[in-house]
A = this chain, B = another copy of it.
Amino acid sequence: MLSVYEAIRRRRDVRAEFTGEPVPEEVLNRILGAAHSAPSVGNTQPWDFVVVRRPETLDVFAEHVADARRRFAESLPDDRRTTFDPIKIEGIRESGMGVVVTYDRSRGGEHILGRHTVDDTGLFSAVLAIQNLWLAAAAENIGVGWVSFYDEPYLTELLGIPGPVRPIAWLCVGHVAEFQQVPDLERFGWRGRRPLADAIHLDEF
């Protein structure tokens, strides 16, 4: 089984490498179990996972994302648009499965230990679950691609998500032909890696 550091190193945001081979139920359950073991503020576990395999839903969501892609491309200056054009931004149909992670701010009632001073900690909890999911998937040789080119009300409606629950990520989850060594956005010249030393400060920012 992959070590933590190896999973962290190998993990990629996958777009073009999905094979479409179905993920066995027990593998998916292990991955979702890892997500569900994340820490959460006041132990609220405010996440849910909507596993989307219905082809019509994948199709219609992929269309919506393609629209959002066009809108973003149009907003770019020429040099950025040239860099953006070859970048694949999703693998919604090709992966064959979406896992939509949601955040329920009402879970746990009124008194949330650790959320009364910093309200966002509830939202953060659901994001921690996503990283557990991603690393467990890497350990299972399963790829994950986080799609964020969508309008939140559209996705909410599409999956029948009730208020105040909020979808925070559409993850394409599926078998991959390979994991890239270098992140797509680096390979395609969108943005490179920052040295670690630049990110570390001592005692003061």
- Name the residue on B nearest A65 (C-beta): B117
Q: Contact between B183 and A33 (Cβ–Cβ < 8 Å)?
A: no
Q: Is A177 part of the binding interface, using a Cβ–Cβ cutoff of 8 Å? A: no
Q: Is A62 part of the binding interface, using a Cβ–Cβ cutoff of 8 Å? A: no
Q: Chain B nearest CB: distance from A165 CB in Å? A: 7
A interface residues, tally (CB under 8 Å): 96
Q: Contact between A51 and B201 (Cβ–Cβ < 8 Å)?
A: yes
Given contacts A3-B3, A4-B7, contact A161 B205 (CB under 8 A): yes
Bound together, the chains give a CA A50 to CA B204 distance in angstroms of 6
Bound together, the chains give a CA A190 to CA B115 distance in angstroms of 14
User: Copies of this chain, how many?
Assistant: 2
From residue 115 to 162 of chain A, which have CB atoms closer than 8 A to chain B? 115-118, 120-121, 123-124, 127-128, 130-132, 134-136, 138-139, 146, 148-152, 159-162
Chain A positions near chain B (C-beta within 8 angstroms): 1-9, 11, 13, 29-30, 32-34, 36-39, 41-45, 47-54, 57, 68, 71-72, 75-77, 80, 84, 87, 89, 102, 108, 111, 113-118, 120-121, 123-124, 127-128, 130-132, 134-136, 138-139, 146, 148-152, 159-162, 165, 168-169, 183, 185-186, 190-194, 196, 199-205
Q: List 7 A-B contacts (CB under 8 A).
A: A1-B3, A4-B34, A5-B139, A43-B191, A45-B193, A50-B203, A72-B116
